[in-house]
Amino acid sequence: MKEYKYMKTERKGNVGIVTFNRPEALNALNEQVETEVTDALMEFDADDSIGCMILAGGEKAFCAGADLKWIASQDFESAYRTDLAAYMDKVAELRKPVIAAVRGYAFGGGTEISLMCDVIIADTTAKFGLTEVTLGVIPGGGGPARLAAAVGKAKAMYYVLTGKPFSAEEAERIGMITKVVEDGKLMDEALKVATTIANNPRLAVLAGKESVNQQAETPLISALKVARRLFHGLFSTSDQKEGMTAFAEKRKPNYQKY
């Protein structure tokens, strides 16, 4: 494995573990973090000795979403030209299973990357949320489409339009995550499940993941593209500038009245 600035990688038998390592920013996403987490998982995906991967975070946060110092400066032209937030789509395209082990905050992009994984295990400290609407944008990493596919239109609409966070228990109740475990038992449980998967016949595991995703992901392709373009376009609005500036300045935003 190559060296990463913001990721730790390790092996436990035939399980590859990728851990966010930007604690000073609650593992917030910027361009380098997005690239590194995707590349680290892709490395394990290409490694024949690995049968399953775990994506984990830190004590306080799995991933607290996008780093506003990076994303608030975007405009429509730069977002569209660089296809902002598209690189992490590769996480959902990995052939081997990925388990998201979620502790602490998993807001915005943190919820989205967990939804790209195949199994989500969270402990009782976990907090999810697609909070982007409060900043004048929408989730750009496929969150609305994947959440709707997981929990249905009514629940997804509520969380996308209110931006309200929700607990691990609520996430399990609505069917977004696989299971909740007690604080302190997260990685043990994630490794147990990952090892079980990795020890199963490799081709059957790959085929099983592909067959589930054929139903779960394929209908989302057009929705993901539409949502991505809407996400890009919102960086041309005054509400986006005001929302992210107010968040950085720790004040209530003054949105345009239409």
Domain limits, the chain: 7-184+199-203
What token pair was written down for 105? 């905050």
Tens digits of residue pLDDT in 229-254:
889 999 999 999 999 999 999 999 98
Give the pTM: 0.90
**Catalytic positions:** 66, 109, 112, 132
Q: Which of 128, 137, 214 is nearest to 177 (CA)?
A: 128
What token pair was written down for 89? 């789509």
Regarding the domain with residue range 7-184+199-203, which homologous superfamily does it belong to in the CATH classification?
Answer: 2-enoyl-CoA Hydratase; Chain A, domain 1 (3.90.226.10)
Length of the chain: 258
Residue 63 and residue 113 in contact, taking contact as beta carbons nearer than 8 Å: yes
Strand locations in the chain, DSSP E? 7-12, 15-20, 52-56, 61-63, 98-102, 105-107, 119-123, 127-129, 166-167, 179-181
Query: 153-162 and 143-151 are packed helices; what angle lies between their axes, rounded to 10 degrees?
Result: 140
* Helices and strands in the chain: count of H runs, count of E runs: 12, 10
Distance of alpha carbon 110 from alpha carbon 149, whole angstroms: 17
Tens digits of residue pLDDT in 33-69:
999 999 999 999 999 999 999 999 999 999 999 999 8
Residue 150 CB contacts under 8 Å (≥ 6 apart), including other chains: 115, 156, 175, 176
pLDDT band at 18 (very low <50, low <70, confident <90, very high): very high
